[in-house]
Amino acid sequence: MSISGISNYRDVLFQWQGQQLKSTGSETAKSSAANSLSSLFSGSSMTSQISSMVELTKYAMDAMGVSSNSRVTFSQITRYREQLQSEFSQAVKDGLAQSGISDLSGLSFELDKDGNLSAVGANAQDRKAAQAWLDANPGLGKDLRAALGEAGVDAETPVQFRLSSTGRMTAINTTAASIQSALDGKADLTKDLRAGLSKLGVSLDTPLEFGFDEEGKLAVKGSPDAGASINQWLEDNPELADALKAELEKRNVDTSAVSLRLGAEGSLQVSVSNAAVNDIQAVLDQNSAAGKKLATGLDSLGIDPNINFSIQIGDDGSLTVVSDHPDRDKVQRFFDENPELVKKYRQIETLSGIDDARKAMQLAPSDMRKRIQIESMASWWADSGSASSYFGAYSGGNLSVLSGLNLSV
């Protein structure tokens, strides 16, 4: 049951301990019942307060998974609220701590012909956070594209780079990357090559490099002890060479520009000589300030999990973060993107109202129970008040819910 649905109980007749005060019958009976309730609770204000109290308790029981014919104590409701409060605090703390870029090495950046930068990476949260910063700082990409143009790099040339934590931009050879991806998808080629080298007694403690010779044959580079045997194996098992040539033909790359490297672990690593990539790298190195600005900007995206702010819930159920901290808007965006946390806060807020209402009525739990038991009553459910009558404070990674801090006057 959602908190917004509490007022749905307005038309439900309250029954205490299986008894019911009928509203049907003569006007005299109705008047007597009304006078009795009025006298008992000192006016409609008290009746409305207890009605709201019962409404909140009904919600608490439903939220706790307790059946309506069961009993629940104030201490049980309080413990449940404290559990939700602890879960909320931890979820907010973890969420804020992870709001920045968790793994910069997992991101790369693409620059289109118009100077627009796009973040690329498998981590959707990192990609989204980085893209938001890039969109807010469009000048960086525009300046890079202008510098590349001045260096003679065609606007249609693909530009992709990685960024180190120190801000160094390293151009990515997109041709080599696409060929590498294709070979990674054919893992059996690497597996067969390793098996063949093992049979020949070739150790890979020192990595081997391969390339195409003048005749277009794949051969080992350098002069390893078993060089002739390795080349013969490659000629007898042409699957690797054929697969690599097919990828090169797709991209119109000459075989002389490609080399392979195989170490003790991992797949074959592809290198493709590309003059355009060298030109791009030269421009990136000359614009190191842009890289440092990008790295600094992305590093500042994280939010201190111990930030202090207050939470206010409006009549429409919306959550507003109140703080003079520079990261206030980031925290607001965090809650806007995590509606389940807003729902949990509203649950905490409503449960907090139960004990607050009891204290405001200056009744001990036992006194309230006795007072209600004096006479079974029927009451149309009253609104439990504006949601904005509660104000939450998040400080040092923990939430506290305080009542009456923002009441209208």
Question: In the predicted model, what is the mean pLDDT of residues 305-334?
Answer: 86
In this predicted structure, the answer to whether residue 40 has a pLDDT above a threshold of 50 is no
Structural tokens at position 304:
């201190």
Structural tokens at position 372:
């209600």
Q: Where are the domains of the chain?
A: 3-97+306-403, 104-173+275-299, 176-272
The Cα–Cα gap between 223 and 370 comes to: 98
pLDDT confidence band for 368 (50 / 70 / 90): low
The Cα–Cα gap between 161 and 282 comes to: 12
In this predicted structure, the answer to whether residue 18 has a pLDDT above a threshold of 80 is no
pLDDT confidence band for 53 (50 / 70 / 90): low
153: left (phi over 0), alpha (psi -120 to 50) or beta: beta
The SS3 assignment for 115 reads coil
Question: In the predicted model, what is the mean pLDDT of residues 97-107?
Answer: 83
Give 163-217 pLDDT, tens digit per residue: 998 999 999 998 999 999 999 999 999 999 999 999 999 999 999 999 999 999 9
Its sign, for the CA torsion 225, 231, 233, 234, is: positive
Q: What does the DSSP 8-state code read for residue 205?
A: S
Count of C-beta atoms within a 10 Å radius of residue 348:
26
pLDDT confidence band for 9 (50 / 70 / 90): very low
Give 222-265 pLDDT, tens digit per residue: 888 899 999 999 999 999 999 999 999 998 999 999 999 999 99
Question: In the predicted model, what is the mean pLDDT of residues 339-364?
Answer: 74
What pLDDT shows up at residue 391? 60
Give 278-312 pLDDT, tens digit per residue: 999 999 999 999 999 999 999 888 787 778 889 88
Helices (H), 202-238: 227-236
At 58, give phi and psi (nearest 5°).
-60, -45
Question: In the predicted model, what is the mean pLDDT of residues 338-361?
Answer: 77
The Cα–Cα gap between 183 and 235 comes to: 19
Question: In the predicted model, what is the mean pLDDT of residues 16-27?
Answer: 30
What pLDDT shows up at residue 348? 84
Give percent of the chain with pLDDT exceeding 70: 73
The SS3 assignment for 323 reads coil
Give percent of the chain with pLDDT exceeding 90: 44
56 or 180: whose pLDDT is higher?
Answer: 180
The Cα–Cα gap between 5 and 62 comes to: 12
pLDDT confidence band for 374 (50 / 70 / 90): very low
What pLDDT shows up at residue 299? 85
In this predicted structure, the answer to whether residue 28 has a pLDDT above a threshold of 60 is no
The Cα–Cα gap between 157 and 278 comes to: 12
